[in-house]
A and B are shown apart, each in its own frame.
Chain A
Amino acid sequence: MRWKKPVCVLLLTLAGVTALAGIQRLLMPKYMGLVVEGNFTSEYYEETTPHDVLFLGNCEVYENISPIVLWREFGITSYIRGNAQQLIAQSYYLLEDTLRYETPAAVVFNVSAMQQFDQDNESYNRMTLDGMRWSASKWNAIRSTMMEDEHMIEYIFPILRFHSRFAELEPDDLTYFMGSGKVAHNGYYLRADVRPAGDLPVERRRSDYSFDPRAWEYLEKIRVLCEENGITFVLMKAPSLYPAWYDQWEVQIEEYASEHNLLYVNCLEVSDEIGIDFTTDTYDAGLHMNVYGAEKMARYFGPVLLALPGVKDRRGSVSDGIDLDSVWQEKCDFYDQMKASQEEEFAELGYIKQFYIQ
């Protein structure tokens, strides 16, 4: 009977740990309602085939370009690793994280994140970082962007952060207990509603237009990491009207690009060429593109990307024994279906229920 006690202890400990893991899962936000952005980071790991192009940045990338159109019309395989208020340091570590799985031919970084180095709302940090798989990159991403009252241990055991949700559990928490549903299209956040751009708040003049030195440092780190891995590094600025993109900033980015011989596309300057119509192509009055704007962006960017070394039309090809066409067909179907149902809902109601704040 000497084995009985240790076995009992072991079993009980296992049961305890399992129960705790279950409770933690239950209490973690599922991001399946009004806010779906918390699912983006983790969806990346479900990918089965590699990507030629990786987009990095904040909401200005994940809402502004459609990877589905890039595939359908140009055969470009791409993925957006962007999140709400994704800081430049987080972009760097997400790139590191991506390189553990694949090496894209090109990385496109949206430069608007240069204007703010420190996080101002911890829930953005959680949405970006919680979905990351554990690695040194995740650890470093947390350490470099954590707010003052955040703790590393609350990322290691997220229950410490989300425990108080016990009082506000929803049906979603059970429905998506085993895992959230898919919400994005290769990182793209689809919105088919329309809200024309109207008067935007007047931007205040700033006394200092220089970027935070730490932002420069991370931009350089991204560039060097790309260089080391033979990746073409491209800079872009999405065509968002707000927050403003100042000329003084533009000059600095242009200088950096030319210094390092990088391609830099400022979509604000070529928005006519892209064909963006701010009365129809934005869903929140000019801050972000809706699906119509994002598709136009993709059509503009397709040829630009195809001109980069290593970026090819992959239609009809096979990767590691997997037929890309069928993989992407599934993605296209999901996209078309979501787009159609949103369009229908918007036509009928004038808004989309999921995103409607009462």
Chain B
Amino acid sequence: MDELLEILNDINPDVDYETNEHLVDDEILTSFELVMLVTQIRDVFDVSVPSEAIVPENFNSAQAIMRLIGRLQEDE
């Protein structure tokens, strides 16, 4: 989780990622940020997020992103 928060803070430090649950809906993570996030997740967690998984439900909160990473790691 800390690793993820670090990545997120690197992208935009002005957000409280531990509480916010509308990261995509509130346009904090727009498509640019989403892709940078996915790129870094790949480097740090060694999972590739397929483009069809880039949907708001998977990225609206840090928890959701962690769940996605967990799911993908399982599938590998």
**Any A–B CB pair closer than 8 Å:** no
Chain B residues engaging chain A, CB cutoff 8 angstroms:
none
Chain A residues engaging chain B, CB cutoff 8 angstroms:
none
